[in-house]
Structure 1
Amino acid sequence: MTTTPERSSQTTDAEGRVDLVDRSSVTGSPYANEELLPTPLAERKWTTYNYFALWMGMAHNIPSYLLASGLIALGMDWLQGFITITLANVIVLVPMLLNSHAGTKYGIPFPVFARAYYGLRGANLAALLRAFIACGWFGIQTWVGGQAIFVIMGKLAGDPWLRAGEYGGHPWTMWLSFAVFWAFQMLLIWRGIEALRRFENWAAPLVSVAFLGLMAWIVMQVGGLGPIFTQPSKLGWGAEFWAVFAPSLMGMIAFWATLSLNMPDFTRFGGSQRKQLLGQIYGLPTTMAFISMISIVVTSGTIVLYGEAIWDPVEVASRFESPVAVVIGLVMAVLATMSCNVAANVVSPSYDFSNALPRWLNFRTAGLTTGVIGVVIQPWRLVSDPHTYIFTWLGFYGGVLASVAGVLIAGYWLVGRTQIDLADLYRPEGRYWFNAGWNWQAVVATLLGALVAVGGAYSKPGEGPFPADGLIPLFQPFYDYSWLTGLVVGAVVYLALVRRGVRAAR
């Protein structure tokens, strides 16, 4: 282990991972707590399999399934849907790996990483943007898991459970199922990050088996794969398809746009750059291709069986004739949803909220805060139909978060050349204090990137909350490419402002 000459407060090991020499110099900082300080080198021991299992657990879930089934419901055939999702995940893997590097090298979570470019206070802008999106996702996943529990209990208890008195448009037993699933997840997050790692290691393979079982059942029902793969596209390959393809691709990318920011929350535990890199390359594209193909086969099969695309796997599973098969299938769905939800949508905002109030919130209490906000957002409205889910929810927030990713990638790789002073990430008097804790160059780049990306947000009449000609008509053409637009504009504007500042300082 060596001490970096220009940064005597930190050391670098043989794997290139950096740690603080003396933590006592920053532990008293108002911007530090145990969760936010760098992970000690001795505790950075996640392997390639740990990251592969993490991705398997996060990707094999019902909302991932809904991505592909939603595309089939929008009129694509199996090949169009598969190409769209696979391409999207290859694309989003690039910024994800670029941002993951800092987590492994410095052992820091995403909000602390953001301090190097947004400032100690300004990092809360990036972190809270990510956190509130995660809260929305937590709510969506919890609602879906609650639906699975509701159907399981319905098979066991019968009509009295399924036809209970309604409240807010749903039986009170559905709300109870939602609450029970919420509580299970809060219990897991209360056990800490190591409990999560162990849970992912054994839950991920079981979930994969469950989804394979669902596909096998639908294939047997329709008499093989032939009737499924011969289902024609309602869009063709002409202009009608391309009009749907572009926003759908951005929506598919946006599904993991959150993780492209906050993967340092997990790679901070990596045993080496190689281990986290290979784990993610093996994990994300392959597992998403796997779940999307299952979803495409099952949803296309429902068109053959029922004359319509049933995009909700809980509803598909509820049509099994055997109650035992329904219960087993939906228990696996519950495990899948919990596996993804706690990892992808509670870990990150826990760090993000803790970063905003490090003296008041730790990993556990911030996780509880996430759970509460996830309910307040009313997730049952977001998954009401594929238009809202893909074009409104995914498309809009993807463009906003992409501008943050652009700033981080440009700052870490092009401006800073991967060099960060660890101690100064926690010191109000350090180099990352900028102007009263804010780096306005990063803030302006983020706001401009988001404005261009989603300022022209539009909806077809009757299919969303935005005006048909866009919120700002000038930017409407960019909205179909919201994620790409946000990433490029955020990065370019940040680089331009930094270089202008350097020239002005000379």
Structure 2
Amino acid sequence: MEPTTREHSRVDLGDVRALRGSRFFNDELAPVPVEKRTWTTYNYFALWMGMAHNIPSYALAASLIALGMNWLQALITITVGNLVVLAPMLLNSHAGTKYGIPFPVFARAFYGLRGANLAALLRAFIACGWFGIQTWVGGEAIYVIVGRLAGSGWRDSAVIAGQHWTMWLSFAVFWLLQMLIIWRGMEAVRKFENWTAPLVSVGFLILLGYVLVKAGGLGPILHDSGKLGWGPGFWKVFAPSLMAMIAFWSTLSLNMPDFTRFGGSQRKQMRGQILGLPTTMTFIAVVAILTTSGGHVLYGQDIWDPAQLADKFASPVVVVVALIALVLATISANLAANVVSPSYDFSNAFPKRITFALGGLITGVIGVLIQPWRLYSDPDIYIFAWLGFYGGLLGAVAGVLVAGYWVVKRTRLKLADLYLPSGQYWFTAGWHWRALAATLIGAVLAVGGAYGGPFPADGLIPFLKPLYDYNWAMGFVGAFVAYILFSLPLNAHRNEEETSV
């Protein structure tokens, strides 16, 4: 079974019947045939527009204002973070387009056929948390919309487990809508993204326009100097906030092969992402920063949740139209960013038992069990605990993948061996100690000193506490360097064999 290299340097495995008997193979994890790799630059731009324009993206930017930054400081922090995370995202995307494989199969080349489950399930469980957060805020938007239309009876309903039962109902309805779409498969997700992409900006622009009119224009907003200034107070908040901006998309920096495996060429997927991520996130950041700053001018407080801010508006028409657009935006983002990946990841763990659709259902259930309303309740927890900790862990995985694919393997993989226990990626009983050790080193450097929120004030490992403010960077660099060092004897042996031949 020899793969062939087709147009645009994409590798096609061709007939996969010989792989069907392997317990590490199913049709959804199989390489996408070249003729079915049809996504264009617009598809990837639309994907990023759909993923970036959502309520948590808005809240991420708005939370920086709530932490005391002014509009310029917040914009700089977000822009730099997006440019940094774009680099590993494009580097990992290459393998998806070249070989037509999803992220968990890509990870097998470095972690082993079984070891890849460690990286994949780590990514999957974090995606479940994000799915829950997105579903909670989407449900909150539905709760506000219906409350404006149905009156006080909806808002003043009985409280169960700390929330109005009507809020729980809104959460459940939003959850069900997403499950219905994902159950129809990846093509349904692509169509939904294309349909919603041009519309998702409407809700945010309505919010911004309303606030600007009521606040008397941009003047009062731009003259707000923030609480931190440009001294030590700002720089103390800047580093962990920058890592949080990177962590926000660090999940996608790993699993973009789940999408780029459908790419028509490397140029198309790269152009779509370069045009898509920085521009769409900068747009939503500007809207969020100006809207939140304007809300402070109007209401005397920093309201970083757009549904809660919209709920203060006097015009019910503005509230309903804006939040309907935000609901569509959040469904679009949640499906692409937080359901597609774990669906593949759970399927990778049990290829013969878990389909893409069943993996999506598992994601939905875990996303509820994780209690997302607690993660989203406070900007300090949201940024420094949730984003900071998992960003450091995923940074370590990204470091292994980039080092392995570009430095050690030099983009050359044996495609069929990624599915066969008899192939070169079986390593030792399906696990590769080099990748595991490098990931552990990167993770300890990144989050060993975790402090604040649920962590000890002096850090889990006190002498590593200063590194936690740079968690993603420490995880990425630590694992990247460690994996290359661990692979030096292996590469030397391989070069000797090539020379002798």
Q: CA deviation at 1:25?
A: 1.3
CA–CA distance in structure 2, aligned partners of residues 158 and 99 of structure 1: 50
Query: Please, which moves more after superposition, 20-29 or 257-266?
Result: 20-29
Letter in 1 for 2:472: W
**Between 193-202 and 390-399, the greater mean CA deviation after superposition:** 193-202
1:476 aligns with 2:469: no
1:483 partner amino acid: W
Q: How many residues align?
A: 495
> How far off its partner does 1:500 sit?
3.3
Instruction: Determine helix, strand or coil for the equivalent of 2:425.
Output: coil
User: Are 1:450 and 2:443 counterparts?
Assistant: yes
The question of 1:299 aligning with 2:292 is answered yes
Q: After TM superposition, list the pairs within 5 Å mapping 1:425-440 onto structure 2.
A: 425-440=418-433
Alpha-carbon separation, structure 1, partners of 2:121 and 2:168? 28
State the TM-score, normalizing by the size of structure 1.
0.97
**Shift in Å, 1:474:** 1.5
Identity of aligned residues (%): 67
Shift in Å at residue 22 of structure 1?
A: 2.4
CA–CA separation in structure 1 for the residues paired with 2:333 and 2:449? 32
1:79 equivalent among 72, 77, 87: 72
Q: Paired residue for 2:118?
A: 125
1:162 corresponds to which of 155, 161, 171: 155
| Matching residue of 2:385 | 392
Deviation at 1:175, TM superposition (A): 0.4
Matches within 5 A, 1:98-497: 98-459=91-452, 464-497=453-486
- The residue type equivalent to 2:476 in the other structure is L
Task: Pick the aligned partner of 1:68 from 40, 61, 66.
Answer: 61
In structure 1, runs of 5+ residues without a counterpart are: 1-7
State the Cα distance separating 1:191 from its structure 2 match.
1.3
Residue 499 of structure 2 corresponds to: none
* 2:391–2:471 Cα contact (<8 Å) kept: yes
Q: Return the alpha-carbon distance in structure 2 between the equivalents of residues 89 and 137 of structure 1.
A: 18
Q: Distance in 2 between matches of 1:195 and 1:366?
A: 16
SS at structure 2 position matched to 1:355: helix
SS at match of 1:396: helix
How far has the Cα of 1:502 moved from its partner? 4.4
What is the aligned partner in structure 1 of residue 43 from structure 2? 50
- SS, match of residue 4 in structure 2: strand
Q: How far did 1:21 drift?
A: 2.8
* 1:493 counterpart letter in structure 2: A
The alpha-carbon deviation at position 503 of structure 1 amounts to: 5.0
Distance apart, 1:120 and its partner CA: 0.3
- Quote the RMSD (CA, aligned, Å): 1.0
CA distance in 2, matches of 1:277, 1:503: 33
The two structures have a TM-score, normalised by structure 2, of: 0.98
C-alpha separation in 2, matches of 1:272 and 1:303:
46
Assess if the C-alpha contact under 8 Å between 1:26 and 1:32 holds in 2. yes
Q: What is the CA distance between 1:353 and its match in structure 2?
A: 0.3
One-letter identity of the residue aligned with 2:464 = F
Inter-partner Cα distance in structure 1 for 2:292 and 2:173: 28
For structure 2, the residue ranges without an aligned partner over 5 or more in a row are 497-501
Other-structure match for 1:15? 8
Q: Matched residues in 1 for 2:289 and 2:14: separation?
A: 52
| 1:492-503 correspondence to structure 2 within 5 Å | 492-502=481-491
Aligned-partner residue type, residue 466 of structure 2: P
Taking the aligned partners of 2:278 and 2:190, their CA distance within structure 1 comes to: 20
Task: Kindly state the Cα deviation for residue 195 of structure 1 after the two structures are TM-superposed.
Answer: 1.1
- Closer/same/farther in 2, CA of residues 235 and 407 from structure 1, 3 Å limit: same
**CA offset at residue 501 of structure 1?**
4.0
Which whole-Å CA distance do the structure 2 matches of 1:184 and 1:21 have between them?
Answer: 36
Q: Note if contact 1:9-1:22 (Cα within 8 Å) is conserved in structure 2.
A: no
Q: Secondary structure at the match of 1:269?
A: coil
